[in-house]
Amino acid sequence: MVNGERWKLLLATSDESEAYLVKSRLDGEGIACRIEASQPYPGTEHGGRTKEVSVFVPLMDFEASLLALEEKDSEEDLR
């Protein structure tokens, strides 16, 4: 919990740039989020990505976060 607020995992990825793109999209929608890089990602010893990167959103904004990302995917499908 941060400031008494409960957070929920929205995305876990090995691609840090993907996590920051999601964060940027959510920031643009006015949805708070945070990024955490954790333990080495499986495959690191064989030249894979170095970390698992997680994007968390406040529990109360989880559904809105999913909708915001789905809308973005729909817009890209139309192009």
**Structural domains in the chain?**
7-72 (3.30.70.1370)
Q: Is residue 76 pLDDT above 60, yes or no?
A: no
Question: By C-alpha distance, which of 45, 44, 37 is closest to 18?
Answer: 37
Q: How far apart are CA 29 and CA 31, in angstroms?
A: 6
Length in residues, the chain = 79
DSSP conformational letter for 63: H
25, 58 Cβ separation under 8 angstroms? no
Task: Give the global pTM.
Answer: 0.74
Q: Is residue 72 pLDDT above 90, yes or no?
A: no
User: What's the confidence (pLDDT) of residue 37?
Assistant: 86
Q: Render pLDDT for 5-52 as a digit per residue (tens, 0 to 9).
A: 899 999 999 888 999 999 999 999 999 999 998 766 565 555 555 678
Q: How far apart are CA 19 and CA 10, in angstroms?
A: 10
Query: Vertex 15, ends 31 and 47: CA angle to 5°?
Result: 165
